[in-house]
Amino acid sequence: MMRTFAEHQHAVRELLAPIRAALDEPAGFERVAVSDADDARPGPGPSALGRVLGLEVVAPIDLPAFANSQMDGYAVLAADLVGAAPGAPVVLPVGAVSAAGDRVADHAPGTAAPVMTGAPIPVGADAVVPIEAADPPRFPRLGADRRAVAAGTLVAFDRPAPPGAFVRGVGTDVARGERLLPAGIRLGPAQLGALAAAGVTTVSVRRPVSVLLVSTGHELRTPGASLDSGQIHDANTTMLAAALRESGARVRETVAPDDAAALVAVLTESARHVDLVVTTGGVSAGAFEVVREALAPLGVAFTKVALQPGGPQGLGLARFPATGDGSGAGVEVPVVAFPGNPVSALVSFELFLRPVLRAFAGLTPDRPRARLRLAHDVTSPLDKHQVRRGVLDGDGDVEVGAPSSHLLHAYANATVLVHLPVGVGDLPAGAHVDVWRIDD
């Protein structure tokens, strides 16, 4: 029985769910440096950037670690400015200067101490008056040590300063012992900055999903190789390896001929070293469907999905022997098998595998989606969920390309995938369709 698009999506998620559970096991976490400059190992090593935090990080210090000034201004005791008003200012002598990096000083009651942005608030002061709100609205000339002003220098304030004004209090960002970052968060620039600010140099991260990507076909040759009659350059390996890595996976690549025994040997050799096998080609009903021939006996089911392109699909838990001769304990590895036509393969990846892998990697799983108008009439088979490539015209309407599964050039120039569900046949210009943006 033919599966629906949604049923196959669910089946892929169910098959790969144990991978997520394994990635969440602390025994498999990797310890990596927060900054590459902190990584003393030879070679580049794994970077924390883009990785998913395995264990929550607790703040080892308060942030800020000391009360500091949010503005250039004067540190004061709020009680000293009670009653200040226009026409009746409070005049205070200017105290010692505090700059960023200075040690925390003591505040003399009844004075106003110049403080710079980020400088520690002197102990005994509890507010900051911005320099532009003082009279004069500029700092006095500093002495040779740039920390003292001439004796008798005064500054006036014509309004009160509430306690805490323009003061960054101790631990107001995060207090010592509180959670700094939760497990499962993806480490981007802001997260790495927070770790660095707290003095954290290493973190435990989930290892990425490891994928063996196998493109099959006697006709395939590497890009740049000379082609004999009937041969083509292998686009699937380059294309899907990039798509897998963009989704956070670690990828091994290989190409196998249309020989079932050779394909099983390749898979058996790598099966215990990867979380997932992805294949392209050999899944349909032809006479040389090598992936079906090799993997159906090992537990992979092959089915038709009501989808165009990408109708033939393979999915299942393959049971490989531990060695090529079949001896020893076996190993089970999930297999996702896509068609060989490049557009079919990439559409299949977008619909079935990309959302799952990106969720594993802490990335946004879904493409940006919208419902837009067609720029022209479109016809789709009633019994298929058709996915067409398209672009937006100057009015924001969708120009839909041809449906053929070999039109990779058209896919490369598309900005949206247009979804025409089962039961949709002829749509006129102006009708609304669901689109996924692919131009990020």
Q: Is it the case that residue 325 has pLDDT exceeding 80?
A: no
* 318 in Cβ contact with 327 (< 8 Å): no
CATH of the domain at 194: 3.90.105.10
Residue type, 319: R
Burial (CB count within 10 angstroms: exposed 0-12, middle 13-18, buried 19+), residue 278: buried
pTM to 2 decimal places: 0.82
Q: Is it the case that residue 43 has pLDDT exceeding 50?
A: no
Residue 287: band (very low, low, confident or very high) from pLDDT cuts 50, 70, 90: low
Query: Which region holds residue 327: left if phi is over 0, alpha if psi is between -120 and 50, else beta?
Result: beta
% of the chain at pLDDT higher than 90: 79
- Residues 213 and 345 both lie in one domain: yes
Q: Is 186 helix (H, G, I), strand (E, B) or coil?
A: strand
| 327-356 confidence digits (pLDDT tens) | 556 899 999 999 999 999 999 999 999 999
* 139 in Cβ contact with 115 (< 8 Å): no
Residue 38: band (very low, low, confident or very high) from pLDDT cuts 50, 70, 90: low
Please give the pLDDT value at position 144. 64
Q: Is it the case that residue 154 has pLDDT exceeding 80?
A: yes
- Residues 178 and 281 both lie in one domain: no
- Count: domains in the chain: 4
Rg (CA), the chain: 32
Burial (CB count within 10 angstroms: exposed 0-12, middle 13-18, buried 19+), residue 4: middle
- Residues 161 and 176 both lie in one domain: no
- Residues 373 and 328 both lie in one domain: no
- Residues 33 and 78 both lie in one domain: no
Residue 324: band (very low, low, confident or very high) from pLDDT cuts 50, 70, 90: low
Instruction: Give kind and range of the element (H or E) at residue 197.
Output: helix 189-197
Please give the pLDDT value at position 405. 65
| 58-86 confidence digits (pLDDT tens) | 999 999 999 999 999 999 999 999 999 99
% of the chain at pLDDT higher than 70: 94
- Residues 221 and 178 both lie in one domain: no
| Average pLDDT score over the chain | 92
Mean of the pLDDT values across residues 221-246? 91
Residues 6+ apart with CB under 8 A from 294: 260, 261, 263, 264, 267, 282
Please give the pLDDT value at position 440. 79
- Residues 159 and 294 both lie in one domain: no
CATH of the domain at 134: 2.170.190.11
In angstroms, the CA 35 to CA 56 distance is 18
* 368 in Cβ contact with 438 (< 8 Å): no
- Tokens standing for 73? 């201004």
In angstroms, the CA 308 to CA 200 distance is 50
Q: Is 68 helix (H, G, I), strand (E, B) or coil?
A: strand
Q: Is it the case that residue 254 has pLDDT exceeding 80?
A: yes
- Residues 124 and 71 both lie in one domain: yes
In angstroms, the CA 193 to CA 180 distance is 11
- Residues 219 and 329 both lie in one domain: yes
Please give the pLDDT value at position 30. 92
Which among 149, 169, 189 is the end of a domain? 169
Helices (H), 351-413: 354-360, 408-412
Residues 6+ apart with CB under 8 A from 329: 322
Range of the structural domain that residue 279 is part of: 5-19+208-360
What sign results for the dihedral spanned by CA atoms 121, 124, 126, 127? negative
| 82-138 confidence digits (pLDDT tens) | 999 999 999 999 999 999 999 999 999 999 999 999 999 999 999 999 999 999 999
Residue from 205, 252, 212 nearest 46 by CA = 205
* 58 in Cβ contact with 180 (< 8 Å): yes
- Residues 116 and 37 both lie in one domain: no
